[in-house]
Amino acid sequence: MSETTTATTDVEEKHDLTVVRDVVAKYRGARGSIIPVLQTVQTHFGYLPMEAVELISKSMRLPMAQLLGVASFYAQFRLTPRGKYMVKICCGTACHVKGAQRMVERALETLDVEAGETTADKVFTIERVACIGACSLAPVITVNDDATGYLDVDKFAGIIDDLKKSEKTGDGE
Ligand code: FES
């Protein structure tokens, strides 16, 4: 049985889904409401929990496949929780030319994750992204939206190490 067919059965709540009920009620009957509903839910949880998507599906009478299709199509949506540190490595042309791919490889190797995934301890999420509009600083990364440029693999690895250490010492709180 596919994920989409099981998803329309009763929703088991691991999260408080009040925000979902509220936003669905707010947009009930409105055209073009899928994106703002998903945005509101993601802003609340930091990602789109599957039971929230299931409740939206049930309440708005929309197929799960349609909601998951929208959530997968737009880069702004995440279906998995993000880590405490969202590390985005720009892989646009200017950053690529200046070694962004080597930083990606170092991050994935050091943290033992795949691109787009979150470490098991939920501390880091590593993502490759397209040009973030700071090409003159290439190669550039952002950590929770703070940009750092003129990096190389060693400087980048140093940033990751510092964040790991601050987690261990509790300074990252
Ligand atoms: S290519 Fe990386 S900021 Fe533009």
For the CA of 90, the closest atom of ligand 1 is: 2
94, 131 contact by CB (below 8 A) = yes
Whole-number Å distance between alpha carbons of 8 and 33: 19
CA of 136 relative to ligand 1 center, distance in Å: 8
Answer yes or no: is pLDDT of 170 > 80: no
Q: Which amino acid is present at 77?
A: F
138 CB under 6 A from ligand 1?
Answer: yes
Sequence-separated (6 or more) residues with CB below 8 Å from residue 97: 138
93 lines ligand 1 (CB under 6 A): yes
Give me ligand 1 centre to Cα 151, in Å. Answer: 12
> What pLDDT digit, counting tens, does each position of 43-101 carry?
999 899 999 999 999 999 999 999 999 999 998 898 988 899 999 999 999 999 999 99
Ligand 1 in contact with 6 (CB < 6 A)? no
Give the distance (Å) from ligand 1 centre to CA of residue 85.
20
Residue-wise pLDDT for 136-147, tens only, equals: 999 999 999 899
DSSP 3-state assignment of 138?
coil
The answer to whether the CB of 129 is under 6 A from ligand 1 is no
Q: In the chain, where does the domain assigned CATH 3.40.30.10 lie?
A: 85-169
User: Rg of the chain's alpha carbons, rounded to an integer?
Assistant: 19
pLDDT in tens, 88-99: 999 999 999 999
Do residues 8 and 58 lie in contact, with contact meaning Cβ atoms separated by under 8 Å? Answer: yes
Q: What is the pTM of this model?
A: 0.70
Mean pLDDT over residues 112-130, rounded?
A: 91
Whether 2 shows a pLDDT value over 90: the answer reads no
The pLDDT confidence band at residue 15, using thresholds 50, 70 and 90, is confident
Distance CA 113, CA 88 (A): 14
Which CATH superfamily hosts domain 85-169?
Glutaredoxin (3.40.30.10)
Please check whether residue 126 is in contact with residue 104, taking contact to mean a CB–CB distance below 8 angstroms.
yes
- The residue whose C-alpha atom lies closest to atom 1 belonging to ligand 1 is 92
- Flag whether pLDDT at 38 surpasses 80: yes
| Ligand 1 center–CA 89 separation, angstroms | 9
Among candidate residues 124, 112, 129, 128, the one with its CA nearest the CA of residue 162:
124
